[in-house]
Chains A and B, each alone.
Chain A
Amino acid sequence: MTLISTSLNGLGLVLLTHAVYSAHEHSLLPTTAALPLDITIELLAAVLLLCIGIVLASPDLKPIKWSVWGGKLSREEHKAAEKAGDVTERDPYEQLDVRRGFLDIRSKRQDFADWVREGATK
């Protein structure tokens, strides 16, 4: 999909530039004749190609139904953000189960120590 949209956008930009340049050159002529039809057609075709290319290049739409969106969050594995600016979405309500402000650090430490001991005995 990216190949198609990139080539459409590229072609559209070339045609647009060409059409605009031709129109400008035509306006410099001493005659007062109307703009030739082929320039108009080229311009419209370029805009159409660009429209299609940009729409194809846009990212997938997000679900607008709450249940579908929630189901997607539950079903799909979460990819953690690697660097600043990565867009990742998490289950927003899980923090009500975790409650970081009330973190019981001593029991978590104990859990970790138990896990290490278990690994050592195995």
Chain B
Amino acid sequence: MSATLLDPPPHISPPTALHLSQQAPLVLASSPASSLPWPISLLTSSETPETWSIHENLLLACLRTGDDRSARQVLDRMVARFGDENERVMALRGLYEEAVARDKGSLEKVLKEYETTIKDDPTNMPIRKRHIALLRSLGRPTDAIAALTYLVDSSPTDAEAWAELADLYASQNLLPQAIYSLEEVLLITPNAWNIHARIGELLYLSAISNGEGGASYKGLAEAMRRFCRSVELNDGYLRGFYGLKLTTSRLLTLQVPKRNDSSAEDLPLPPVTTIEKLNELATTKLAEIVRRGSAKESGWGGYEEAELIAARELLNRDGANVVR
């Protein structure tokens, strides 16, 4: 697995974090700032735009692995370069203080600091986000949701905030609210295949908790449509095909509800033949991904091992059903 400080993967696993944070001495050995006075320092400094993203990624990796001393040094460099008042640096300093806090009291203190900062400057988005993340981390999701709804009210085009709100709602089992928030994300990024798949997953969850009636069938059909859209946008998306297979298999086991209980403004239910075809398509695609992905053919190495195992299990389960 390739990971560099310049370009770390979005999901950092513990071994990757260790690998990244071990590069700390190397980065800290070469100082980007020059010790010479101002006009000459412009010529002699080795600073590039990438320097600071490397520093930021290093700080996050060090905090993860508990290398607090290197993290402090990196943070001090950033403060020296961008000043105390820089919003991004403020958020990173908050992150550092959260990470090194030993007990609940010091975390409460960090929370208080965030609140005073927000009171002084309500437009400080990075600190607002840290505030919400800390509330959630302290096990106060209701407060976090209240703060986050206020944030998306004042900044409704922040897709990241809407996605976090959806995740918070989903963690509280408020599925309709979570789906609404994800639809807001889709208004900002209409082609986000993972958000389409996520809505499909939530619809699937709420449909199977609805029992076996017509409402459940309708919910599953809606989930199927969402998964269809996600694989339409990305024809190698394992998660989308997995969901498509799951929903279509379940739809095929249910009784098709009568026509008259669907109101006029709803989309018509998909015909059974279409569902069967989609199920077949998802099965072939998943089988291909599992076969070529586990064989690590060239150009097929992007799938994670856990995802491939889950997909193989789903295929085997389905195969066993057919044999019986």
Q: Which residues of the partner chain A approach B194 to less than 8 Å between Cβ atoms? A: 91, 93-94, 96-97
Evaluate whether A96 and B163 lie within 8 angstroms (CB atoms) in the complex, with A75-B236, A78-B302, A112-B65 already known.
yes
Q: Which residues of the partner chain A approach B191 to less than 8 Å between Cβ atoms? A: 66, 93
Question: Are the C-beta atoms of B99 and A77 separated by less than 8 Å?
Answer: no
User: B3, B64, B195: which contacts A96 (Cβ < 8 A)?
Assistant: B195
Question: Are the C-beta atoms of B235 and A67 separated by less than 8 Å?
Answer: yes
Minimum Cβ distance to chain A for residue B204 (Å): 18
Which of the 9-residue segments B4-12, B216-224, B256-264, B274-282 touches chain A?
B4-12
User: A77, A88, A112: which contacts B301 (Cβ < 8 A)?
Assistant: A77
The reply to whether the CB of B136 lies closer than 8 angstroms to some CB of chain A is: yes
Q: Which residues of the partner chain A approach B130 to less than 8 Å between Cβ atoms? A: 101
User: B3, B7, B50, B137: which contacts A107 (Cβ < 8 A)?
Assistant: B137
A interface SS class: helix
Q: Which residues of the partner chain B approach A78 to less than 8 Å between Cβ atoms? A: 2, 9, 302
The reply to whether the CB of B193 lies closer than 8 angstroms to some CB of chain A is: yes
Q: Which residues of the partner chain A approach B163 to less than 8 Å between Cβ atoms? A: 96-97, 99
Minimum Cβ distance to chain A for residue B114 (Å): 13
Evaluate whether A71 and B235 lie within 8 angstroms (CB atoms) in the complex, with A77-B302, A96-B160, A109-B66 already known.
yes
Q: Which residues of the partner chain A approach B63 to less than 8 Å between Cβ atoms? A: 105, 108-109
The reply to whether the CB of A84 lies closer than 8 angstroms to some CB of chain B is: yes
Question: Are the C-beta atoms of A81 and B7 separated by less than 8 Å?
Answer: yes
The reply to whether the CB of B111 lies closer than 8 angstroms to some CB of chain A is: no
Question: Are the C-beta atoms of B50 and A84 separated by less than 8 Å?
Answer: yes
The number of residues on chain A lying at the interface, defined by a beta carbon within 8 Å of a beta carbon of chain B, is: 44
The reply to whether the CB of A68 lies closer than 8 angstroms to some CB of chain B is: yes
Of all chain B residues, the one with the shortest Cβ separation from A84 is: B50
Of all chain B residues, the one with the shortest Cβ separation from A118 is: B14
The reply to whether the CB of A95 lies closer than 8 angstroms to some CB of chain B is: yes
Q: Give the size category of B's interface with A.
A: 35 or more
Central interface residue in A73, A76, A101, A107, by most chain B CB within 10 Å: A101
Interfacial residues of chain B within 122-175, with CB under 8 A of chain A in the complex:
125-126, 129-130, 132-133, 136-137, 159-161, 163-164, 167
Question: Are the C-beta atoms of A102 and B133 separated by less than 8 Å?
Answer: yes
Evaluate whether A102 and B164 lie within 8 angstroms (CB atoms) in the complex, with A75-B299, A84-B50 already known.
yes
Evaluate whether A81 and B6 lie within 8 angstroms (CB atoms) in the complex, with A70-B193, A74-B302, A109-B64 already known.
yes
Q: Which residues of the partner chain B approach A88 to less than 8 Å between Cβ atoms? A: 7
The reply to whether the CB of B82 lies closer than 8 angstroms to some CB of chain A is: no
Question: Are the C-beta atoms of B4 and A99 separated by less than 8 Å?
Answer: no
Which residues of A are interface residues toward B (Cβ below 8 A)? Answer: 66-68, 70-84, 86, 88, 90-91, 93-109, 111-113, 115-116
Known pairs A76-B302, A102-B129 / 5 extra A-B pairs, C-beta < 8 Å: A73-B234, A93-B192, A106-B137, A107-B137, A109-B64
